[in-house]
Amino acid sequence: MKTSVVISGSGMFVPPHSITNDELVASYNDYADLTNAQHQAQIDAGTFQPIPHSSADFIEKASGIKSRYVFVKEGTLDIHRMRPDIPERNDDELSHQAEMAVAAAKDAMQAANKTAADIDVVIVSCAYTQRSYPAIAIEVQAALGIEGFGFDMLVACSAATFGMHRAYEMIKSHTAKTVLVINPELVSPQINYKDRDSHFIFGDVATAMILEDGAQADSEHVYDVLSTHAVTSYSNNIRSNFGYMSHATDAEPYGADKLFHQAGRKVFKEVCPMAAEHIETHLSRHDLTPDDVSKWFLHQANINMNTLICKKLLGRMATPTEAPIILDEFANTASAGSIIAFHQHQKNLQTNDYALICSFGAGYSIGSLVLQKR
Ligand code: CO8
């Protein structure tokens, strides 16, 4: 008999602090006014472009984002700092990212009826890890008392779906029976809060999923993973150059190009058709069309992107029940967005209903899973 792979539990950690658009914009505008005042002479001489104001109305219309959660709020809105003030931890303390990951993992393990003894592999898959080694996954593995092995994966916005893709293959090939995939998206340290185009886009969160051999799953909500599909296509339109090479290149390690930056319009135009085509191709492998899908757990970068992709696929607007939006509350949480949507909105799916998880973003990278509720 062929091994079936299922998602048997999901979990989430939401940081304790949030920042509304109004708070963020007030801080940014004060920073802009201060900087302009400091450069008044250059502005008058035409050698410095005054920094324009940001706008909460623009942010909500252009992106659908109303607020975001952050792991540490202190420092972020301080116009003399413009970045979170996160106290460094000693090597013998649980790291910040592992702390978020462990909380989300415990939630997912409980939902899947799993203890540490049931888990064979821990994958930490996200947009950034806070250090190169030892892997955050191995730290999480130790903190949870899991045997077996763990490793980190970095695939930007598609880290969660690509991590589940890896878990799916391990279960199919019998190298693991139960895999814990965690996405601790601690992205706020990489946001350029001085950049009007991107200061509003991201928020912190951690999500987790349990994938296991379908023959052993006994949780309340179980979804057969019918297949996974992944595509990458190189693009410089979303980029962060931060990395270990700064020590040797003498480049400014915190320069604007070392933080998240993008050509947002180009990303929008290029990625929407790619994602729609990817989804249609994936569904067709199962003789399904978009009309057969009851729930769309799409990447949460921009509400207008999701509207456009659903329109391309369905020929009409998707309802909020069909394609849940969570980015109004969470903003773009890198790879975790589609998993938050799944975690919060999967429970009213009926037996045999089809659903799709799809991420799209930097790389470019697109990853999807076709699910059917048991
Ligand atoms: N307030 C007021 N005006 C603004 C602001 C602002 N905050 N920002 C820009 N404007 C202005 C612009 O300057 C522009 O002015 P003008 O017309 O005079 O030039 C005007 O508003 C319109 O600007 P845009 O054309 O850029 O506005 P858009 O309608 O395109 O909206 C978006 C901008 C929201 C960025 C949109 O393009 C978008 O969402 N694109 C998709 C981007 C996307 O999905 N990116 C994915 C990135 S995430 C990812 O891959 C994961 C990376 C890893 C995580 C990193 C964490 C830090």
pLDDT digits (tens, 9 = 90+) for 36-56: 999 999 999 999 999 999 999
Query: Cα separation of 303 and 326, whole Å?
Result: 9
Told to judge if 358 belongs to the known catalytic residues of this protein, a careful annotator would answer no
CB of 326 closer than 8 Å to CB of 303: no
> For residue 30, is pLDDT > 90?
yes
> For residue 336, is pLDDT > 90?
yes
Say if domain 223-373 classifies as CATH 3.40.47.10: yes
Q: What percent of the chain has pLDDT over 70?
A: 100
For residue 302, the ligand 1 atom closest to its alpha carbon is 39
Determine if ligand 1 sits within 6 Å of the CB of residue 158: no
Residue ranges covered by each domain of the chain = 223-373
> For residue 334, is pLDDT > 90?
yes
Determine if ligand 1 sits within 6 Å of the CB of residue 26: no
Determine if ligand 1 sits within 6 Å of the CB of residue 59: yes
Check 126, 157, 310, 358 and give the catalytic one. Answer: 157
